[in-house]
Amino acid sequence: MEPVRKKQLIEATLEVMTEVGYHGTTISLISKKAGLSSGIVSHYFGDKQGLIEATMRHLLEALKITTHIADPLERIDFIIENNFSQTQGASSATNTWFNFWALSLHNKGLHRLQCINHRRLESNLAYSYRQLLPPREAKNAAASTAALIDGYWLRYSMGSVGNGNFEEPVVRIKQYVRDTINLFAD
Determine the pLDDT at residue 161.
Answer: 65
Q: What pLDDT is stored for residue 53 in this prediction?
A: 85
Superfamily of domain 65-183: Tetracycline Repressor, domain 2 (1.10.357.10)
Q: CA-CA distance, 97 to 94, in Å (whole number)? A: 5
> Options 3.40.50.850, 3.30.360.10, 1.10.10.60, 3.10.310.30; which CATH number does 2-57 get?
1.10.10.60
**Higher-scoring residue by pLDDT: 68, 116:** 116
**Bigger pLDDT: 119 or 154?**
119
Sorted by where each begins, the domain ranges of the chain are 2-57, 65-183
Instruction: Report whether pLDDT(160) > 70.
Output: no
Whether pLDDT at 86 is above 80 = no
DSSP H helices, 25-45, are 27-34, 38-45
- pLDDT for 162 equals 60
* pLDDT score for 159: 74
Q: What is the mean pLDDT of residues 37-48?
A: 90
Place 74 in a pLDDT band, splitting at 50, 70 and 90: very high
- Write the DSSP string, 41-63: HHHHHSSHHHHHHHHHHHHHHTT
d(CA 150, CA 44): 31
* CB 181 within 8 Å of CB 132: yes
DSSP code string of 112-151: HHHHHHHHHHHHHHHHHHTTTS-HHHHHHHHHHHHHHHHH
Residues 6+ away with beta carbon under 8 Å from 104: 110, 111, 113, 114
pTM, entire model: 0.76
Q: Do 72 and 128 form a contact (C-beta atoms < 8 A)?
A: yes
What's the whole-number average pLDDT of the chain? Answer: 88
Q: What is the pLDDT of residue 164?
A: 64
110/129: higher pLDDT: 129
